[in-house]
Chain A
Amino acid sequence: MNSSFFLGVTTLIYLFTMVLYFYHLFFKHPGLAMAVKIITLIGLLAHTAGLGLRWHESYQAGYGHIPLANLYETLSSMAWCMVLVLLIMQQRFNTVTLGAFVFPIASIAMAYASLSPNVRDEIEPLIPALQSNWLTYHVLTCFLSYAAFAVSFGASIAFLLKKRKGEIREEETGETGILPAATLLDEVIYKANAVGFLLLGIGIITGAVWANYAWGSYWSWDPKETWSLITWFIYAIFLHARLTRGWRGTRTAVLSIIGFCGVIFTFLGVNYVLSGLHSYT
C-alpha cells in the first residue's frame, strides 16, 4: 500500500462524505451527525497516512521533501488543512450542518487533484530555490489560513441562503429549518476570519523572512505577494467593520465572500493568469 492508494481512498471517502453532508442537511436523522463526523475523521486519517507516506516515498526517491512541491501536492495538502480546520470548528461550535457548505470545497480540490489530467501526480524533486525549512512554515500557515477562510466562506453562504429564505428573526437561538442559527453562523464567520487573518499575516511574514534569507529582499511586490496582501486587506476591512463599526450579518457575510474570492485568486488565479517568483508552485 503506497501513498497513491491512500490518497485515492481518501478521494473516494471525501466524495461519499460530501454526499452524506448534503443528506444530513435535508434529513436530520438522529445519529447521522455523529456518523458524518466519524467518517470525516476516518477520511482525514487516510489523508494523513497518504501525505505522510508520500513524504516518506520522496526520501526513497532521493529528493526528501514535504509534499508541497507541485500542484497535486499543494491541492492535496490544502484539502487536508481544510478538513482539519472544519472538524475543529464543527466540534467547537457543535454543528455538523456547516460541513455541507465547506466540505465540498475540500473534496472537489481533492478530486480535481486526483482525477484531472492537467495535474501531474509524480513525486518531483524540489528546485534549489525551494529547499528550505521555511517552505513548510510558510506554506502550512498560508494553507491553514485559507482553510479558515473557506469555513467562513461556507458559513457566509449559509447565512445569505438563510436570509433569502426569510428565516432570520430577532433573538433566534437553536437550529430552525435546515440551516444553523444565524447567531451561530455570524459567530463562526467572525471567529474563522479572525483565525484566518492572524494565520495569513504569519504566512505573509514567514514568506517575507524566507524571501529575505533566500533572495535578500523581504518584499518585492511580485503578484502572489501583492494578491496575498490585498486578501489580507479585505479581511482587515472585515475586522474593522465588525469590531469598530459593529457590522453584523449580511454585510459581513458579503465581505467574507469577497475575501474568499481574493483567497482563490491568490492561490490559483495568480499561477494561471499572472506570473512571478511563485510561478513554480
Chain B
Amino acid sequence: MSLKNSFITNVWSFFTSLKLAIIILIIISITSIVGTIIPQNEAPAVYLRFYKPSTYELMRLLDIDNMYHSWWFITLLTLFTLNLICCSLNRFPAFWRMITQKGRDLDEALLRTLPLKKTHRLKSFDRQAWEKLIGTVKKHLPVKSAILTPSGVYQLFAEGGKFSRFGFYITHFGIVFIIIGGILGNLGYQGFMQVVEGSSNDTMVLKGTSLEKKLDFAIRCDDFQVTFYEGGTRPKEYTSDLTIIEGGKEVVKKRIKVNDPMQYKGVWIYQSSYGTTSGGGSLTLGVNMRAAASQTKQYQAAVGDRFALDETGYEVEVKRFVPDFSLGQNNQVVSRSQELKNPAAQIALFKDGSLLEEQWIFKNFPDFHGTGTGPYRFSLLNVSLKEYTGLQLTRDPGVWVVWLGCALLCLGCYMICFLSHQRLWIRVEPAQGAVTLTMAGTSSKNMPAFSQTFDRLQKQLKESDKTGVNP
C-alpha cells in the first residue's frame, strides 16, 4: 500500500515539477525548429526533390511534413498544459495560506526567517510616539495592524502589493486559455472561394483538403480592382465590392481589401488572391488566308473550343490562354502574372482531323502571326476575360478565448515581473530604562529596492525619536 502511495506521490511530483516544465519547453522549442527548416504541407514532389524516397516515407510516418499538427507534437502540448495545471494546483495551498494570512506578531522564530532586520534603541516611547510611528510607516506601506499587547509590547504589521501573488495564476491561466481557444478553433473552418466578377458563389473548398462546404448565404462580387502606385507596377491595393445574398435578397454590401475584411454571421471574409478565369470569357480570333491577306474573318472562341474554318477540312482549336506570356525554365510558357499584360493564346490547326501545327499569337503584337507555315494566318484581336476575386473564409469560435488568454498573460507577466509583495514588521519593547525597536521585512521580489525603502524608514524613525517631531 505504501509502495503504491509513494508511486502516486512520485508521479504527482513529477508532473508538478518545474523541471518537467522546463524539459517540455526545451523539447517543444527544439522540435519546432524542424518545422521551420523543412517546408510544411507541401506536395510529395517538393519533398522528393530534396529527400530520398525512403527518407520521405519516414518523414510521412512521423508527420514531419505537417509536424505542428502531428500526434507527437499535440502530445507534447497536452503534456505541457497538464504540467501547467498540476503546477498551479500544487502551489495552491501555499498560495491560499499566503493570501488569507493575518498579520502575525514579530517573534524570534519569524525574525529568523526574514532577510531584512534592524534594531535600534529609543530614548523614550509612549502612546503618542506610537501613533507618530504608525503615521511614518503609512507613508511607505499600508499598515494592516498596530496593537499594544497585554505584555506591554507594541506590534505593527504593514504590507503592500499582496495581489501581485495572483500574477502566477493569471499568467498560467492565460496560457491555458490560449490553448483552449486553439482547441475550440478546430470547431470552426477555413476555406477558399473564387467569385467571378458579376456572379455569385456560395461554396468554398476547405483548406488543406478538396472537400466542399456550402454557406447559408451567397457572396456576389460586383467589382474587383487592382490599383498601382503612381508610375509603377507595384500594386497598392486589391479591392472587391461584395454583396451578401441571403434567401434571394441582398443583405449587406461592403468593399473589402487586404487588411480590411468583412464579417457576416460569424464568418470572416478576406481578400486573399485574384486571377482571370479561362472559362466564361472569350477570345476574338482573326483569321485570313495567307494568299489573300485583306479578307479577315473574326471568330469568337473560348479555351478548348474547336471550330471549322471552311469546307476544306481545316479546323482550329484554342488550346491555351495566358494573361501575361513569358518563357520560364526550359522555355516553358508561363504566365508571369494574372493581369492582362501580355495576353497570348496557343492555337492548333488541324486538317482532316490530324494536327498540322501549333503556334502562339499575341494581342500586343498584331503583326506577329505566329510561327505557322500553313495556309492561314491567325491573330488575337480581343480578349474579354473575366476576373475573379479569391476570398478566404474563416470561422473561429475560439478566437475570443485566445484574446482573453493573451490579455491575462500580459497582465500576469506584468504583475510577476514588476510588482512585489512587501511585508514589514515593527516591534517596540519598553524594558527597564531602555526601549528597543526591532524592525524586519521581506519582499517577494526586487529586494534591493525594498531594502532601500527599509533603510530610509529606519532613518526616519531614528530621527523622529531624536527630535520628537514627526518628520
Contacts and interface: CB of A to CB of B under 8 A. Distances in A.
B406 A205 contact: yes
Interface stretch (B232-240, B325-333, B347-355): B232-240
B259 A128 contact: yes
Nearest to B392: A216
Contact of B236 (A125, A194, A229, A276): A125
Contact of A201 (B29, B32, B403, B413): B413
A60 B50 CA distance: 47
Contact of A230 (B18, B32, B40, B413): B32
Interface size of B as a range? 35 or more
B229 interface: yes
Interface of A: 62-63, 125, 127-129, 131-132, 183, 187, 194-195, 197-198, 201-202, 205, 208-209, 212-219, 221, 223, 226-227, 229-230, 233-234, 236-237, 239-241, 243-245, 270, 274, 276
B410 to A, nearest CB: 6
29 contacts: A62-B229, A62-B230, A125-B229, A125-B232, A125-B236, A127-B235, A128-B259, A129-B258, A195-B417, A197-B413, A205-B406, A209-B403, A212-B396, A213-B259, A213-B261, A214-B259, A215-B272, A218-B399, A221-B68, A226-B35, A233-B25, A233-B26, A233-B28, A234-B29, A236-B25, A237-B25, A237-B26, A239-B416, A241-B22
A265 B402 CA distance: 27
Interface string B26-47: 1011001101110010000000
B268 interface: yes
Given A221-B32, A244-B18, 4 more contacts: A214-B270, A219-B182, A237-B26, A240-B22
Interface string B439-471: 000000100100000000000000000000000
A222 to B, nearest CB: 8
A221 to B, nearest CB: 4
Contacts of A212: 396, 399
B413 A129 contact: no
A198 B253 CA distance: 41
Interface of B: 18, 21-22, 25-26, 28-29, 32-33, 35-37, 40, 68, 182, 190, 229-230, 232, 234-238, 257-259, 261, 268, 270, 272, 392-394, 396, 399, 402-403, 406, 409-410, 413-414, 416-418, 445, 448
A127 B417 CA distance: 38
Contact of A274 (B37, B230, B393): B37
B257 A226 contact: no
A131 B259 contact: yes
B402 A218 contact: yes
> Main secondary structure on chain A at its contact with chain B?
helix
Contact of B416 (A131, A227, A243): A243
Contacts of B28: 233
B28 to A, nearest CB: 7
Contacts of A218: 399, 402
Contacts of B257: 128
B417 A194 contact: yes
A198 B413 contact: yes
Contacts of B229: 62-63, 125
- Give the interface centre of A205, A208, A213, A245 by most chain B CB atoms within 10 Å: A205
Given A127-B235, A187-B448, A230 B33 contact: yes
Contacts of B237: 128, 131
B190 A245 contact: no
Given A128-B238, A221-B40, A245-B18, A239 B258 contact: no
B444 to A, nearest CB: 9
Contacts of A63: 229
A240 to B, nearest CB: 6
A273 B301 CA distance: 47
A236 B175 CA distance: 12
Contacts of B238: 128
Nearest to A133: B259
Contacts of B268: 216
Contacts of B236: 125, 128
Output the residue of A125, A183, A187, A227 with the most chain B CB within 10 A: A125
Nearest to B30: A230
Contacts of B258: 128-129, 131, 214
The 10 A-B residue pairs with the shortest CB-CB distance, nearest first, are A216-B394, A194-B417, A223-B36, A128-B258, A221-B68, A132-B259, A205-B406, A230-B29, A125-B229, A214-B259
Contacts of B22: 237, 240-241
